[in-house]
Structure 1
Amino acid sequence: MEKNQAATKEPSGSFESSGKEPFSARLSVLLKGRSINQAARDWGVNLSTLKNYFSRQSSTPRHEVLSKISASENVPIEWLLYGGSIESGEHAMQGAKLTSGLSESVQKIAAMLELLNQTEKDALVRTLMLKGVESVLYLLDEGNLKLLQLPQVVKDQILAVHSGDAAHVAADDKKVCASTEEKDPTEGRLVAKHKQAS
């Protein structure tokens, strides 16, 4: 009876992987064309240990090995342990590499987006794209470009008239020095001073 139990006992490591593919499949994704020997050097892992993961499909790594590989390849330890599909592993790997070089504020935005489900992400992307195109179309209009280039005081007056705030318009009338189409008054004074000097 003891013989049967020993024969059915499965080898196990420090962490049991509940992923569909073995740990070695995720390691293969990380090799990226390197030899196992080169990867072992790059990751600071014993070559025989790494070869063991490839030869024994049921092998699972120790935490120390996971930490070294995770740090070297910028992938989450969770992905190394549990994986999922190889495609999702590549996605996690790319996401980890992309966010590692981003500013803190951009990483916060990325974390916020991760809270959304796929339908919400798709809706957000669609809305941002539509608003972006709408903004570009506004900027292609010559009249809108001219309005954007007006002095702030004139913009405030236009907005006040548009909103019906007549008292605000009257107060701002005193701030307006000249229309945008008039000549610069200092130009005339400079010409007059130049004539006096001659």
Structure 2
Amino acid sequence: MLNHSTKKPLIHYRNRLTAPKTPNQKAMFYARDDGLVVWLEVVQNRLGSMSQALGSSVGEAHLNVDHDQLAEGNGVLREIKVDNTKTPWLRIDNVFYESRGSTWVLLLLMQSMRDDFKEVLEEAKAMVVMDQIIGELEATQETAWSPMILNGNGFGLIANHSLIMANYVSRAQAGTVDLINILEKR
């Protein structure tokens, strides 16, 4: 959260940006691809964390490969660690709705970035990728018709809401990676 000493300069900057143009106006917003890439890297990491938290609702065993140990052992692992972290049943809905709220905020920010960086995205021919990311984030906001968040197994009778959400989040993350790659190649 912004404290009072941080808010005042930001509000002043915003007011200077939105003021009518004058010859000596010094406040400018530069929509450059390098600034967008830095922000997208933060978004990519956040989406990855979200996807992992949602996927932990299943609790399947995952191998954690220690890449440093792998390099030291010339490609041979001396110790294999299994991560069997599972979200407790009473926290599944917390993780789901936290992710839903976070993706809603990211959706609004992505829509704003699409507008603010329109020229950059069009020049890089990346508008389609941005639209795909926004579409995946919009899908996370669909109505959950169940009275509670359910996490069934596999292709069973009961839906797994967390994995459905994780699917949309993972695809948005993949789109973010693609967008970063497109912008970095320019």
TM-score if structure 1 supplies the norm length?
0.20
Structure having the higher Rg: 1
Identify which of structures 1 and 2 has the higher relative contact order when contacts are C-alpha pairs closer than 8 Å and 6+ apart. Answer: 2
TM-score if structure 2 supplies the norm length?
0.20
Select the structure that is richer in helix.
1
